[in-house]
């Protein structure tokens, strides 16, 4: 029976038999030398390789709701009656610490609704055909600093030919009313600008101001001029601003 002490002595003798000279000889074998040289070369390449920097364009996107505005025409006569409303919206500017702004892209979604109410003033007792045509709504986005248009959308109202009842003696515009939605395009109107005025306007640490103009034209005709009408177009939408830029080099 082998004692634990003899096992310990045997293991100690086996370990000590590998002298420092024999270990040195093994490490200096041709294969081991090639491996060491290859590893050293790889370390040099990693140490002296240039640092990679991100190149090319990237983007940053902001979406802003265009508040709904109502353009009202009260007691208009047959014919063309243009209306206009102008207001401003603001979007965050591009932070120049991120890089260099190279272009600004705009996507404009346009939504409109029109309501007509009209009443005859003729007391002859006959109904009067009414013709709605040419009613339109244009939504335009411009830069206030230069007046440059960056996006513009145009929508038209489908024509209609309702009958306006004869006069009832009360001018309350309660006899007939029509409600229409403008012919909506599911795709936005797009525009892109790389001009210096645009890049300057949208670069900074604050807000960029855009001017919104809604131009609406109410146009109504009839075989009789003995009536008046009111009309209202509610205009709104969404504007998406996309910044294209080259990232700043990494340090």
Averaged pLDDT score across all residues of the chain: 75
Lowest mean pLDDT among 7-21, 92-106, 115-129, 237-251: 7-21
Instruction: Identify the pLDDT of residue 200.
Output: 94
Q: Which residues are within 8 A (CB) of 208 and not within 5 positions of it... i.e. 6 or more apart?
A: 90, 91, 92, 93, 201, 202
Stretch 170-185: mean pLDDT, rounded? 69
Contact between 60 and 199 (Cβ < 8 Å):
no
In which band, very low, low, confident or very high, does the pLDDT at 63 lie, cut at 50, 70 and 90?
Answer: very high
In which band, very low, low, confident or very high, does the pLDDT at 168 lie, cut at 50, 70 and 90?
Answer: confident
**91 pLDDT exceeds 90?**
yes
**224 pLDDT exceeds 70?**
no
Instruction: Identify the pLDDT of residue 104.
Output: 96
């029509």: which residue's tokens? Answer: 178
**203 pLDDT exceeds 90?**
yes
Q: Sketch the domain layout of the chain as residue ranges.
A: 4-48, 58-247
Across 37-46, 153-162, 164-173, 204-213, the highest mean pLDDT is recorded for 204-213
Instruction: Identify the pLDDT of residue 125.
Output: 58
Please name which of 63, 59, 60 lies closest in space to residue 210, comparing C-alpha atoms: 63
3-state secondary structure of 105: strand
Instruction: Identify the pLDDT of residue 12.
Output: 37
**145 pLDDT exceeds 60?**
yes
Q: Which residues are within 8 A (CB) of 25 and not within 5 positions of it... i.e. 6 or more apart?
A: none
Q: Higher pLDDT residue, 92 or 19?
A: 92
DSSP 120-168: E---SS--EEEEE---EEEEEEE-TTT--EEEEEEEEPPPB--EEPPP-
Instruction: Identify the pLDDT of residue 96.
Output: 95
Instruction: Identify the pLDDT of residue 172.
Output: 77
Strand ranges for the chain from DSSP E: 58-76, 79-92, 99-120, 128-132, 136-142, 149-156, 163-164, 176-181, 189-193, 207-222, 227-247
Cα–Cα distances in Å, from 212 out to 208, 215, 250? 13, 10, 39
Please name which of 179, 174, 180 lies closest in space to residue 120, comparing C-alpha atoms: 174
Instruction: Identify the pLDDT of residue 183.
Output: 65
Stretch 5-24: mean pLDDT, rounded? 37
Contact between 218 and 231 (Cβ < 8 Å):
yes
Instruction: Identify the pLDDT of residue 163.
Output: 72
Per-residue tokens: 200: 């300057």
Lowest mean pLDDT among 128-137, 150-159, 235-244: 128-137
Please name which of 76, 113, 83 lies closest in space to residue 230, comparing C-alpha atoms: 76
Stretch 155-178: mean pLDDT, rounded? 73
Spatial distance between the Cα atoms of 50 and 42, rounded to a whole number of angstroms: 14
Instruction: Identify the pLDDT of residue 45.
Output: 35
| CA atoms in the 13 A half-sphere facing the CB of 29 | 7
Contact between 238 and 71 (Cβ < 8 Å):
no
């Amino acid at each position: 029976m082998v004692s634990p002490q003899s096992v310990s002595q045997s293991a100690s003798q086996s370990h000590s038999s590998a002298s420092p000279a024999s270990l040195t000889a093994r490490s200096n074998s041709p294969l081991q030398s090639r491996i060491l040289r290859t590893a050293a070369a790889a370390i040099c390449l990693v140490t002296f390789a240039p640092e990679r920097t991100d190149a090319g364009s990237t983007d940053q996107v902001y979406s802003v709701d265009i508040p709904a505005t109502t353009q009202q025409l009260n007691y208009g006569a047959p014919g063309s009656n243009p209306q206009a409303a102008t207001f401003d919206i603001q979007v965050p500017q591009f932070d120049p610490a991120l890089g260099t702004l190279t272009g600004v892209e705009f996507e404009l979604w346009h939504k409109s609704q029109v309501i007509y109410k009209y009443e005859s003033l003729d007391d002859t007792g006959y109904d009067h055909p009414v013709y709605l045509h040419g009613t339109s709504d244009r939504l335009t986005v411009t830069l206030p600093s230069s007046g440059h248009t960056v996006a513009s959308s145009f929508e038209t109202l489908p024509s209609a030919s309702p009958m306006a009842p004869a006069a009832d003696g009360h001018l309350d515009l309660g006899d007939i009313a029509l409600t229409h939605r403008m012919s909506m395009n599911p795709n936005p109107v797009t525009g892109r600008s790389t001009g210096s005025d645009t890049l300057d306007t949208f670069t900074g640490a604050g807000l960029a101001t855009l001017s919104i103009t809604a131009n609406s034209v109410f146009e109504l005709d009839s075989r009789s001029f003995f009536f008046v009408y009111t009309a209202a177009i509610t205009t709104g939408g969404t504007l998406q601003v996309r910044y294209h830029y080259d990232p700043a080099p990494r340090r």
